[in-house]
Amino acid sequence: MWIRSGKQKPVYTTGGTASERTRSKIPAACPASERRPAVNNKKIPVLISVPHGGTVIPERFRDRLLLTAEDIVLDSDTWTQYVYDFEGKMESFEVMQAARIVVDANRDPTDRPPENSDGVVKTVTVNGKKVWDRDLTEDETDSLIHEYWEPFHRRLLEAVSRSEVKFAIDCHSMLDKGPARGKPEWEKRPAFCISNRGTAGGESGEEVVTAPPYLMRKLQILLEEVFADQPADGLPLVMINEPFRGGFITRSLGARSDIPWIQLEINRRLYLPKHAGIQPDEEDLSRMQLFRDRFYEVFTRLAAEDTMAPEDEKSIS
């Protein structure tokens, strides 16, 4: 069990030893060809958050939007509302309905233009396209936050306060190539990135982690096993805190709740067709169902694991 001690240091309790921290501790994955979701009416004790899967544009702003419907979808975490659709299967499942381009649930509500064009509301897309024919006013931004951002975060806080929820996963997708951290050039990205605001090993670095290192390693191992047939393209299949260390949701809610928070990113090249449209077709839906089934296996096995910390990880700073 993971326990926060005070406001800064998480403390870990344990019933095992460091020698038990091995791959053999986690049950082996079944072959991909034989993998089927288990028939189980019991919900998995996990909160799934999908903050960038929405496509809703408030009607009062539609005339001012300069983007096409395809622009809106591709600037979001495209189709993640399908990839991570665990409605009725997880203890709590929350999807932000508003499009990321309108109001970003993974940003601090005070992070706004003109200081940041990629803040809680956007003035340009990832590809540099202008979003609005005239920028949103402070009052308009406040109204979007009140209408969409605040209810979403309120639902997340309510979910993590429930004893049935053991940990939370904030689910995203990422471009195959993106800006390197602290560098001007773009770089290739792994198949999966899991984040807890820590180091490449999941330990605390510049700030307190939102999930303990042993849980990060367990998740990394499970993803490597269950998705072993996916192309790695010369990189580790699963990287921790690279290229992302976690966003506002994991940082903010991780600090305000007693359960672990992990950000999960899947590379879009794994599940998107070469030319993705506004809506997925039947082939796209079938492909995403396979990924969803595998994620379900990963989350089920992770939740079923004894999450007691090894002896040498009782506390970190």
Burial per residue of 145-167, b for 16 or more beta-carbon CB atoms within 10 angstroms, e otherwise: beebbeebbeebeebbeeeebbb
Is residue 169 a part of any domain in this protein?
Answer: yes
Q: What is the pLDDT of residue 205?
A: 86
pLDDT by 10s per residue, the chain, length 317 = 555 544 443 333 333 333 333 333 333 443 443 444 444 568 999 999 999 999 999 999 999 999 999 999 999 999 999 999 999 999 999 999 999 999 999 999 999 999 999 999 999 998 899 999 999 999 999 999 999 999 999 999 999 999 999 999 999 999 999 877 767 778 899 999 999 999 999 999 888 999 999 999 999 999 999 999 999 889 999 999 999 999 999 999 998 889 999 999 999 999 999 888 899 999 999 999 999 999 999 999 999 975 455 555 534 43
Q: How many domains, in total, are found in the chain?
A: 1
Is residue 269 a part of any domain in this protein?
Answer: yes
Cα(261)–Cα(191) distance, integer angstroms = 20
Cα(224)–Cα(243) distance, integer angstroms = 17
Burial per residue of 256-284, b for 16 or more beta-carbon CB atoms within 10 angstroms, e otherwise: ebebbbbbbbbbbbbbbeeebeeebeeeb
CA distances in angstroms from 187 to 89, 139, 173, 199, 225, listed in the order given: 36, 38, 16, 19, 25
Question: In the numeric block, which tokens belong to residue 91?
Answer: 């203890």
Is residue 287 a part of any domain in this protein?
Answer: yes
Q: What is the pLDDT of residue 315?
A: 44
Is residue 59 a part of any domain in this protein?
Answer: yes
Domain CATH number, residue 127: 3.40.630.40
Q: Which domain holds residue 232?
A: 45-303
pTM of the model: 0.85
Q: What is the pLDDT of residue 31?
A: 41
Is residue 21 a part of any domain in this protein?
Answer: no
Is residue 313 a part of any domain in this protein?
Answer: no
Is residue 38 a part of any domain in this protein?
Answer: no
Q: Using CB atoms within 10 Å of the CB of residue 176, give its burial: 0 to 12 exposed, 13 to 18 middle, 19+ buried.
A: middle
Q: What is the pLDDT of residue 127?
A: 85
Residue 236 is inside which H or E element, if any? none
Q: What is the pLDDT of residue 27?
A: 36
Q: What is the pLDDT of residue 34?
A: 42
Is residue 32 a part of any domain in this protein?
Answer: no
